[in-house]
Amino acid sequence: MQLHNTSQYAIRVLNFIANHSDDRLYSAKELSEILNIPYKFLTKIMGILVKTGFISSIQGREGGYELNTPASEIKLIDILNTFNDETDNESCVLGIGICDSVNKCALHDQWMEPKSLMRKMFEETTLNNLTCKDCKL
Amino acid sequence: MQLHNTSQYAIRVLNFIANHSDDRLYSAKELSEILNIPYKFLTKIMGILVKTGFISSIQGREGGYELNTPASEIKLIDILNTFNDETDNESCVLGIGICDSVNKCALHDQWMEPKSLMRKMFEETTLNNLTCKDCKL
DNA sequence: TTCAATTACTACTCAAAGGTAGAATTTAAA
DNA sequence: TTTAAATTCTACCTTTGAGTAGTAATTGAA
Ligand code: SF4
Ligand code: SF4
């Protein structure tokens, strides 16, 4: 019951960049050191974040990454979907397939409240709701 | 953000056996067909459930499985822990390691409510809270 | 006693996540 | 113009979850 490492990394990177977007460009090397994420794995993830349009990259010497979309428009759920961290009904708690209020699994009644709260959180939280100056990176 | 298949299967099997414990013994073959779980994978899981003491097995012809612990004493969280579906703080949403109210990650404030509800649910729900006669298996 | 239905055990394959290696490309500073 | 610092691309390796195969051991029924 956990997010994928890639999702966690992506959230942390995007959050950091969003919090320092006025500043300047950050390179993969810096991000890797600041956020303590394996360099080679980070660059792989950055490539995906560029392709999906969350960030844009400046190539070459003195290059780096910067936010390409306003922080207020990047929802956590969008990041999760990018890395196959599904939160939809198809892959719900007992994974039984399509289900509704009449056709439900044994856990349904207990699960719906935590699940909907979780889903609501991922859907409504954007990067700029996350701004937290003293938080761990 | 999902339970492991093994956890899902284990919950469904244990729930079924708990709901039919008065009945009779159920064999792996039957369980596999009723619950639509691959036979060979199921027997592997049953072995683990026997070792951990949730169920006991009757070997040989006419054998099968039966609950070994009262349904009221089998918490979902115990099943999850058996299959490495951690819900503890070490492996929390951003996976940053030890953290408390002063030393927290950027998602902490948003995450704690859904998380604690989820955790409470897994900790307080036992197999006999789950009894649901018309539910999908 | 034989035999078929059953659990238990060991070892393997497959797929996906997590991570690494190396070289190509881009670009600004020296 | 050269060079070093950067992103990008392709391919690989490792680990773990998911699932399969085959066989041994057990035991009640015929
Ligand atoms: S909890 Fe509800 S929505 Fe989720 S699998 Fe069970 S029945 Fe379906
Ligand atoms: S949400 Fe809170 S407990 Fe979980 S990783 Fe973040 S700081 Fe730690």
CA–CA gap between residue B50 and residue B69 (Å, rounded): 11
CA–CA gap between residue B135 and residue B126 (Å, rounded): 16
Specify if B135 maps to a domain: no
- Give the DSSP letter string of B15-30: HHHHHTTTT--B-HHH
pLDDT tens column, A10-23: 999 999 999 998 77
Specify if B136 maps to a domain: no
Centroid of ligand 2 to alpha carbon of A28 (angstroms): 25
Q: Which residues pair with B66 in a beta bridge?
A: B56
Centroid of ligand 1 to alpha carbon of A54 (angstroms): 32
Query: Which residue approaches C4 most closely, CA to C1'?
Result: B61
From the list B115, B98, B4, B34, the residue with the least C-alpha distance to A94 is: B4
Residue B61: both structure tokens together: 């012809």
Task: Provide the sign of the torsion angle of the four alpha carbons A94, A97, A101, A106, taken in this order.
Answer: negative
Angle at A78 between CA A90 and CA B119, to 5 degrees: 60
pLDDT tens column, A26-81: 999 999 999 999 999 999 999 999 999 999 999 999 999 999 999 999 999 999 99
Q: What is the pLDDT of residue B66?
A: 97
Confidence of residue B12 (pLDDT cuts 50, 70, 90): very high
Is pLDDT at B101 greater than 80 in this prediction?
Answer: no
Confidence of residue B84 (pLDDT cuts 50, 70, 90): confident
Total domains in the fold of chain B = 1
Please indicate whether residue B134 or residue B125 has the higher confidence score (pLDDT): B125
A104-to-A54, A94, A101, B53 alpha-carbon distances in Å: 37, 10, 6, 29
pLDDT tens column, B28-41: 999 999 999 999 99
Query: Which B residues, 66 through 85, put their C-beta within 8 Å of a C-beta on chain A?
Result: 76, 80, 85
Q: Which strand D bases fall within 7 angstroms of a protein CB?
A: 4-11, 17-22, 25-29
How many other CB atoms are there within 10 angstroms of residue B56's CB atom?
12
CATH code of the domain containing B74:
1.10.10.10
Q: What is the pLDDT of residue B89?
A: 61
| Domain of A35, in residue numbers | 5-130
Q: How many helices (H) and strands (E) does chain B have?
A: 5, 2
Specify if B137 maps to a domain: no
Residues from chain B that touch A86, judged by Cβ atoms under 8 A, are 1-2
Q: What is the pLDDT of residue A90?
A: 66
Specify if B12 maps to a domain: yes
Q: What is the pLDDT of residue A89?
A: 61
Give rounded-to-5 percent helix, strand, coil for chain B. Answer: 50, 10, 40
Looking at this protein, which amino acid is placed at residue B130? L
Specify if A137 maps to a domain: no
CA–CA gap between residue B32 and residue B13 (Å, rounded): 9
pLDDT tens column, A85-124: 876 666 788 888 778 777 899 999 999 999 999 999 999 9
Alpha helices in chain B (DSSP H): 5-19, 28-35, 39-51, 76-82, 108-124
Residue A21: both structure tokens together: 């977007």
Dihedral angle, C-alpha B47, B49, B51, B56, nearest 10 °: -90
Task: Give Cα A90 to chain centroid, integer Å.
Answer: 20
Q: What is the average pLDDT score of chain B?
A: 92
Evaluate whether B27 touches B34 at the Cβ level (below 8 Å): no
Specify if B52 maps to a domain: yes
Looking at this protein, which amino acid is placed at residue B111? W
Evaluate whether A95 touches B6 at the Cβ level (below 8 Å): no
Q: What is the pLDDT of residue A43?
A: 98
From the list B16, B6, B48, B10, the residue with the least C-alpha distance to B130 is: B16
